[in-house]
Amino acid sequence: MHKFKKILVVCPAGAVSGGPEALHQLTAHMNSLGLPAFMCYQPFTASAKPPAAYECYQTQSAPYEDMAGNLIIFPEIDPMPALKVKNAQAALWWLSLENFLERRHTWLLHDRVRYFKRVLQGRRPWSGAKNLKGLLHFSQTEHSTQYLKSCGIEPIPLIDSINEDFLTNKYLDRIDHKKT
């Protein structure tokens, strides 16, 4: 028997980068374990299908359903909708702490202004992750785990895999093989 009736993994529609790929991999892996996992694309009002790059994961999508018995996993880049979940169990998967904190490491003040701008837009909590304690948290890296612990949150490790394409000669040939 499964703990959750349905697991919805939230992903921005049409996005192709490391984070969305990890979300598709997670859904595919949960399905391979017999869990009822589905991609749920944002915006929730529009229908969407996986980008061509992620069709290989053979995930199915489902509409957003804030219902008791469901688990809804949001990427850390978009935490505020998770706070609006009323009936389901909401979770954040911390794929990139830098993206959540709006760090671009160009200038500390600039990064803080970027974060404050996201707060004013309603896209980040005022006091950082400390205001997200009521959610379930999964962490992809030790870096994000330590940050969350410093905010009084004990995350569950959830490490994703690398796309095997990066292990082919197509990418390995780009490495400079200088001899020292």
The token pair at 66 is 């804030």
Select the more confidently predicted residue: 68 or 2. Answer: 68
Amino acid at 32: S
* Residue 106 forms part of a structural domain: yes
- Classify 34 in phi/psi space as left (phi over 0), alpha (psi -120 to 50) or beta: left
The token pair at 121 is 């837009």
* Residue 126 forms part of a structural domain: yes
Give the separation between CA 73 and CA 177, rounded to whole angstroms. Answer: 40
How many separate domains does the chain show? 1
Give the separation between CA 135 and CA 120, rounded to whole angstroms. Answer: 22
What CATH number is attached to the domain comprising 65?
A: 3.40.50
* Residue 178 forms part of a structural domain: no
* Residue 180 forms part of a structural domain: no
* Residue 177 forms part of a structural domain: no
What's the pLDDT at 105?
Answer: 72
Claim: this prediction has a pTM higher than 0.75: yes
* Residue 93 forms part of a structural domain: yes
- In terms of residues, how long is the chain? 180
What's the pLDDT at 111?
Answer: 85
pLDDT, one tens digit per residue, over 15-71 is 999 999 999 999 999 999 999 999 999 999 888 889 999 999 999 999 999 999 999
How many angstroms from the chain centroid is the CA of residue 93? 5
Instruction: Report the first-to-last Cα separation within the chain, whole angstroms.
Output: 57
* Residue 146 forms part of a structural domain: yes
